[in-house]
Amino acid sequence: MKLEINDSSLVNEIVKKVVEQIAPLFKHNSKNSGNELMTVEEVANYLKTKKPSIYDKVHSKSIPFLKYGNSLRFKRKDVDIWLRNPYDPALDNYNLNHNGRG
């Protein structure tokens, strides 16, 4: 089936609407590349918990985190893996403490 539209303003409007619909998909996909680093506040919001709870998990080494000087950062990809399975081998480099878990 072939459809021809001779009205360029209609074509431009259709293209604009399509781009508006798919643009958020590309932005969302690039954020989930695994390289996105989150702060304590961002992780707390992501996990729908409070910041002290995140600090407790860091102190007990029960959540994967990175420390840059005095700053804590969390890779979104690793937090997602940790949520699914805290014993996942992909998290071995974090030296997580699994005492009392399982």
Question: Would residue 102 count as lying in a domain?
Answer: no
Question: Would residue 53 count as lying in a domain?
Answer: yes
Question: Would residue 79 count as lying in a domain?
Answer: yes
pLDDT tens digits for range 8-32: 888 788 888 887 777 776 665 555 5
Q: State whether the Cα torsion 87-89-92-94 is positive or negative.
A: negative
CB atoms within 10 A of CB 46: 15
Quote the domain boundaries for residue 80. Answer: 37-94
Instruction: Report pLDDT for 89.
Output: 92
pLDDT tens digits for range 26-79: 665 555 566 799 999 999 999 999 999 999 999 999 999 999 999 999 999 999
More confident: 88 or 26: 88
67: its two tokens: 């420390």
Question: Would residue 10 count as lying in a domain?
Answer: no
Q: What value, to the nearest 5°, has the Cα angle with vertex 30 and ends 70 and 58?
A: 30
* Number of independent structural domains in the chain: 1
Which helix (DSSP H) or strand (DSSP E) does residue 23 occupy? helix 8-31
Question: Would residue 55 count as lying in a domain?
Answer: yes
Q: 91 falls in which pLDDT band (50, 70, 90)?
A: very high
Instruction: Report pLDDT for 102.
Output: 40
Instruction: Report pLDDT for 8.
Output: 81
| CATH code (residue 67) | 1.10.10
